[in-house]
Amino acid sequence: MLEILSRSGSIGGARIRVNVSRQNWKVHCGVGAVYSSRMSSFLFSVCFLLLWTVHPVTAGKPCDAKSFGGTSVVCVCNATYCDTMDPIVVPAKGLYLLYETNKAGKRLESKTGEILNDAKHPGLKLTFDTKKKFQWMKGFGGAVTDAASINILSLSVGAQGNLLRSYFSEKGIEYNIIRVPMASCDFSTHVYTYDDHPEDLSLQHFSLTEEDIKLKIPIIQQAQAMSRRPLSLFASPWSAPPWMKTSNSTIGKGTLRGEPGGKYYQSWANYFIRFLDEYAKHNLTFWAVTTQNEPTTGMIPDYSFQCMGFTAEMQRDFIVLNLGPALQNSAHKNVQLMILDDQRILLPYWAKVVLDDVHTAQYVDGIAVHWYVDQLTPADKTLGTTHHLYPEYYLFATEACTGYLPWEHTVLLGSWERGTMYSHDIIQDLNYFVAGWTDWNIALDLRGGPNWVKNFADSPVIVDSGQDKFYKQPMFYHMAHFSKFVPEGSRRVGLDASAATELESVAFLRPDGTALVNVLNRTPKDIDFMIWDLELGYIEARSTAESIQSYLWKRH
């Protein structure tokens, strides 16, 4: 998956041309006249240097593309074949590396080019400015749910390995974030908790289930074993056991019994600690927990799947009286705590209620958001305002998926538009101080499940267990342009457009000093532009129709 460059030049009146063939890496280096042996030797050396500066970059094994009649293609993988990436090798200073994915079928195709000293034509200019420094990045990933684990384990060992390597290995897109549901969620085959013994306030009967021991934990352990980047796990609960709740049910409207500080709230806080204890026995430690998945859904009568209600005030008091001290006084005092874990439309209100209480704020590290009504909520009024009010608390996107709307609930194999929905939202979030972005299920079946309440959805990877295959959707490759190229410890920097543009973009300085600019073009036309590095010069670029691109270059 490579665009090959052809270099030519003139030295001492001799025309030299270097061609790198697309097939079999054949090289032809010719001169246009016969010279003395010394001159020929000199020209050969120049030819070699010209070839060396081309820096052809492979993208590993190419996509085995297949159309299912969607707007783009999927890449087909099985036990013996799956597309891969070679390690990223950013070329020498003065050159740039470009990866491109587009609707027409490119998947992380790469090429190199030169950074120029002078702009050759006026036009749209994106100015890369490291004097403007913003948030540090935590990373990108997805959720290992019961459904995802069931689908992965339904494949042969070879196909399982290829799927997990696609996500977590250096030959894949190198996710470094994994979300883990605490007990069941809708993407389970049935409802369960870790303590279904009524009034067991001391949690003597607390225990992990087969879903943890046989499904989720083995998958996470495999991911860790094949990842060169440290994996950061975070956990989210959907519901407390029914006997702890006012509804005596895991579904529908219901909150914890009693008041914050009371025995049910304390038992629920201890439930978090026991979960962390049990996973630690399997050598799995957590970076963070969220206080409650979508706490507003537990305030909705007849809500159809696992939920539990909190108001912002209840969450504040639960943290300060129960959960915060429980974490601090446990072996998991370094586990970070994120509030909200719900739609950003609730910001900045939710953050004000919780974080304006200094006693509560001491236990909180971040603010978690979901994406489901982002199109109705301006990022500047929610994320932007919240960041400026509480800059010491990171913003983190913890859940997103497509195909979730009531009139959809379906997988669309090859949907380009669903991929651009991801990258559009990611770029917008990152430009408004979000430090990472988490997809929902990392793998689902052809129906978009299993899901016990039939709340089916789409996923970047769709498993066809009957054929021992899986399909990498366009969503997978849109995620790749962020998870692969924006490692933990990267920092967002300034990227200013010289004029109004339909391009969407975001820029970073990576820990190794490499510059990165991601550019999304959701239009049906090619758009020419320049990236201006104030220290190095210009990249003359073209954003092809319906594409996402990643530009990388060394700065020192």
Catalytically active residues, by annotation = 294, 399
Query: What does the DSSP assignment read for 470-509?
Result: EEE-HHHHHHHHHHTTS-TT-EEEEEEESS--S-EEEEEE
Quick one: which of 174, 142, 181 has its CA closest to 438? 142
Q: Which is it for the CA torsion 399, 403, 408, 410, positive or negative?
A: negative
Of the candidates 277, 274, 176, 184, the one whose C-alpha atom is nearest the C-alpha of residue 236 is 184
Phi, psi values for residue 301, rounded to 5°: -60, 140
The Cα 475–Cα 421 span in angstroms is: 8
| Cα 177 to the center of its chain, rounded Å | 8
Token couple for 486 = 């924006």
User: CB burial class (10 A; 0-12, 13-18, 19+) of residue 32?
Assistant: exposed
Q: Is 439 exposed, middle or buried (0-12, 13-18, 19+ CB in 10 A)?
A: buried
What span, in angstroms and rounded, lies between the C-alpha atoms of 376 and 362? 32
Within 10 angstroms of residue 502's Cβ, the number of other Cβ atoms is 12
In the block, tokens 């069941």 appear at 184
